[in-house]
Chain A
Amino acid sequence: MTMHPTFPALDAETAQMLRDSVARYGERAGGEAAGRARHVQAAGYDPAHLTVLRDQGWLMMALPEAAGGLGLGLGAAGIVAQGLARAHLAAPFTALHVASAALGRISGGADLLGEMGEGAALPALGWAGTGASFADPTATRVTCDTGGRLSGAVRGIHGAVGASEFLIPARAPGGLVLTRVSADAAVPAIARLAEGTPVGHLALDATPAEVIAEGAEARAALRVALDEGALLAAAELLAHVEAMIDLARAHLLTRQQFGRPIGAFQALQHRMADLFVQQSLARAVLAAAFARIDALEGDEIARGQLVARAKARANDAARLTAREVIQFFGAMGTTEEFGLSLHVKRVLVLAGWLGTSAEQRARFAALEDERARERAEERT
């Protein structure tokens, strides 16, 4: 398969400018209040937030220019996801990226992508695989009949509330199809994740849909979209690791017990050092993954393995950091009112979304088998 050098690498200066502008927005609009607002929002997303994401160009910057994006590569979206997450403003950035990444890879996606860019459409990818097939949209249980009607259930759709339409992978008589369903025809039941973000459950019963891609094109587009989404979720996780470690460090320096700062106790120092090791690993692994993923557009196995490993590391680093930092803060760490809770709960959500570590390891091993089969076929 040929690889198209569609994505120019993001140079260091542009990356820093992007980091700075996301951080400025985070300081202005984000923080603990924004995190708490996740729980109280009745439905949908803050229109002002969506406007900023769009007007800054952040929503579409990673898409190829041919698909109406800025062609800055996934690394640019990673910087945005990380910066927004630090300020509790990440949702629905990653979910919207997943939808646009799928649309950008299919020939029938241009119209909807154009509407998205203008703010006229907010599509959500109706796919939430779990278990062994979490990254394999061909395992969808939604069926599409010959009249283009969908039946089946899809649970836990990120970005569903406030979505204008759903992109739903379904099994048609001829194989996999990617369909577009209007939110008027499919109204999601709202559920909430641990940190307050709403997700939607869809119950489809001969719901009218439009097929926008089929077969290999649909499958490839969905896999790219899910891989990119998982890597952005990993970038969000890294932001929470960094934020929690910063909180812990400040606490260890100021909290006094037995007449000295608790950070002077070696038991805590070594545990903090181990968190630093995990943060360093997650940073290095994500940097390497973002640097390589665009060039792997045509190599599903290598890309999938790269993402599986990065998401697993981010999951593990974040879950360990959450547990340890709660312990460092003692009773205060167990409270909802202390700001650490916002990071902890978001970590619990993100570490499950788009692949737990166990799911990622299973996927990596399955891809390893796929590679071995490919090689065996090449030899015969």
Chain B
Amino acid sequence: MSEAIDWNALPEAEFRARIRDFIERQCPPELRHRARRFTPDITMPWFKALSQGGMIAPGWPTDYGGMGLGPARHLIYIEEMEAAGTPWLHDSGVRNLGPALIAHGTGAQKARYLPLIASGDTIWCQGYSEPASGSDLASLRCEGRFEEGRLIINGQKIWTTSAHVATHMFGLIRTAKGGRKQEGISFVLIDMSLPGITVRPIETLAGETDFCEVFFDEVSVDPADILGAPDQGWIVARSLLGFERIWAGSPKRAIRALGHLEQQIAAAGLEADGYWRDRLTQARFDTLDAQDLYTSFADLVRTDGKVGVEVSALKIWSTQTFQSIAEAIVEAGGAEAALLPDEGREGALEPWYESRAPTIFAGTNEIHRNILAYSVLGLPKS
């Protein structure tokens, strides 16, 4: 383990160089610049390498084994990982749960869970959405009742990413009724191997099985695994959203799709075609403009350490650009676009499938338009 590096004190160029160098040495080339998500057995060696190098948790304080990066450095860290095409990791525990544990956890909870999260010995999924609670998350009904010193959970979660490979879930459970819907929710850490938990993977349009339904039937949990005060879990859940909201609006997916569109146009022999030259240029403009908008928010993170609600504009534009480029890829491919690709190859429909979810997750684009209307433009609630 590399001891006591003050990452924030390094000159920026050296900081970047160290991260790049680490990736070059430790991240297997066959895992890089790939669109698909790998299963944890494939990515775990890279996860463990980051963990052993003290680089798995950029945002955690150094006292808890993190790098202790400030927002500006944290953003650079993410940019370097993206630029090097490092694979998506099952690191929801690090990114989402860790900061909540550090802010709201008891000494015992932190001592028990943080090392397990950072080492990769536990894989966490986020149990928020339910069949009847999507954008209106606080209406959730998956129920917990206190009985003989235990918390007994019954109900269902859905769209739970990676639940089928997770060892643990951090979930929102309705532990009290009456009052405002945001009250009476508890933030609970749940061992997925407990009796009474059933996981059913859901196949997506792209043929992937990354999200799941999770059913709870009289699942008995130790109330010591409630994070924060019982019935006050909404506050814990909300605290997860920091400057990293900017990341939901990263133009990285649109940039990748743009490369695919260029290849598709070339493969179809349409490079000199006036219509396709124009459409490709529009796609370039939309993507480069998204990049400029991203940079303007990243600059705010650098100077203010946070971003405002205006960042919803970035999320809307980047995800919608991804979709419009995906549309162009399919169209440029003609009838052949619908052919299933050879094993291991990316077909023309893949970006089309992949571009559906980003306008839905991390707040649907409609919710983000509501945010802009109310919180930025000051329009009255409808």
B18: min CB distance to chain A, Å: 28
**In the assembled complex, which residues on chain B have CB atoms less than 8 Å from the CB atom of A270?**
366, 369-370, 373
**In the assembled complex, which residues on chain B have CB atoms less than 8 Å from the CB atom of A368?**
281
Contact of B285 with A361 in the complex, beta carbons under 8 Å: yes
A273 at the interface (CB under 8 A from B): yes
B338 at the interface (CB under 8 A from A): no
Can you list, as one digit per residue, whether each of B287-311 has a CB less than 8 Å from chain A (1) or not (0)?
Answer: 0111011011000000000000010
**In the assembled complex, which residues on chain A have CB atoms less than 8 Å from the CB atom of B366?**
270
**In the assembled complex, which residues on chain B have CB atoms less than 8 Å from the CB atom of A280?**
293, 310, 313-314, 317
- CA distance in complex: A313, B295 (Å): 17
Contact of A276 with B313 in the complex, beta carbons under 8 Å: yes
B60: min CB distance to chain A, Å: 31
Contact of A281 with B289 in the complex, beta carbons under 8 Å: yes
Given A281-B289, A281-B317, check contact A273 B382 (CB 8 Å): no
- CA distance in complex: A359, B232 (Å): 57
B365: min CB distance to chain A, Å: 9
Contact of B313 with A277 in the complex, beta carbons under 8 Å: yes
Of chain A, the residue at the smallest CB distance from B278 is A361
**In the assembled complex, which residues on chain A have CB atoms less than 8 Å from the CB atom of B369?**
269-270, 273-274
- CA distance in complex: A97, B325 (Å): 37
- CA distance in complex: A277, B317 (Å): 7
A265: min CB distance to chain B, Å: 6
**In the assembled complex, which residues on chain B have CB atoms less than 8 Å from the CB atom of A158?**
none
In this complex, how many residues of chain B approach chain A with their Cβ under 8 Å: the count is 34
Contact of B296 with A287 in the complex, beta carbons under 8 Å: yes
- CA distance in complex: A253, B373 (Å): 11
Given A266-B382, A272-B379, A273-B372, check contact A284 B278 (CB 8 Å): no
Can you list, as one digit per residue, whether each of B304-328 has a CB less than 8 Å from chain A (1) or not (0)?
Answer: 0000001011101100000000000
A261 at the interface (CB under 8 A from B): yes
- CA distance in complex: A368, B281 (Å): 10
Of chain A, the residue at the smallest CB distance from B314 is A280
Contact of A309 with B293 in the complex, beta carbons under 8 Å: no
Prevailing SS type, chain B contact patch: helix
B149: min CB distance to chain A, Å: 47
**In the assembled complex, which residues on chain A have CB atoms less than 8 Å from the CB atom of B296?**
283-284, 287-288
- CA distance in complex: A340, B368 (Å): 28
- CA distance in complex: A308, B380 (Å): 38
- CA distance in complex: A44, B214 (Å): 75
Contact of A313 with B285 in the complex, beta carbons under 8 Å: yes
**In the assembled complex, which residues on chain A have CB atoms less than 8 Å from the CB atom of B377?**
249, 269, 272-273, 276
**In the assembled complex, which residues on chain B have CB atoms less than 8 Å from the CB atom of A283?**
296
Can you list, as one digit per residue, whether each of A328-367 has a CB less than 8 Å from chain B (1) or not (0)?
Answer: 0000000000000000000000000000001001101100
B133 at the interface (CB under 8 A from A): no
Contact of A269 with B373 in the complex, beta carbons under 8 Å: yes
**In the assembled complex, which residues on chain A have CB atoms less than 8 Å from the CB atom of B378?**
249, 253
B263 at the interface (CB under 8 A from A): no
- CA distance in complex: A284, B296 (Å): 6
B317: min CB distance to chain A, Å: 5
- CA distance in complex: A288, B366 (Å): 28
A182: min CB distance to chain B, Å: 41
Given A281-B317, A284-B293, check contact A361 B282 (CB 8 Å): yes
**In the assembled complex, which residues on chain A have CB atoms less than 8 Å from the CB atom of B112?**
none
Of chain A, the residue at the smallest CB distance from B368 is A273
Of A273, A358, A361, chain B has the most CB atoms within 10 Å of the CB of A273
**In the assembled complex, which residues on chain A have CB atoms less than 8 Å from the CB atom of B290?**
281
Given A270-B369, A280-B313, A362-B278, check contact A285 B379 (CB 8 Å): no
B277 at the interface (CB under 8 A from A): yes
Given A277-B316, A287-B296, A361-B285, check contact A264 B381 (CB 8 Å): yes
**In the assembled complex, which residues on chain B have CB atoms less than 8 Å from the CB atom of A249?**
377-379
Given A287-B296, A364-B284, A365-B281, check contact A253 B289 (CB 8 Å): no
Of chain B, the residue at the smallest CB distance from A245 is B377
Of B281, B288, B295, chain A has the most CB atoms within 10 Å of the CB of B281
Given A276-B372, A280-B310, A284-B289, check contact A263 B379 (CB 8 Å): yes
B376 at the interface (CB under 8 A from A): yes
Of chain B, the residue at the smallest CB distance from A261 is B380
Contact of A313 with B289 in the complex, beta carbons under 8 Å: yes
A252 at the interface (CB under 8 A from B): yes
- CA distance in complex: A283, B292 (Å): 9
**In the assembled complex, which residues on chain A have CB atoms less than 8 Å from the CB atom of B293?**
280-281, 284-285
Q: Which of A260, A276, A288, A365 contacts B278 (CB 8 A)?
A: A365
A181: min CB distance to chain B, Å: 36
**In the assembled complex, which residues on chain B have CB atoms less than 8 Å from the CB atom of A365?**
277-278, 280-281
Sampled A-B contacts (14; CB under 8 Å): A249-B377, A265-B382, A269-B369, A269-B382, A270-B373, A273-B377, A277-B313, A281-B292, A283-B296, A284-B289, A288-B292, A309-B285, A312-B285, A365-B281
Q: Which 6 A-B pairs have the closest CB atoms?
A: A269-B373, A273-B369, A273-B372, A263-B379, A284-B296, A361-B281
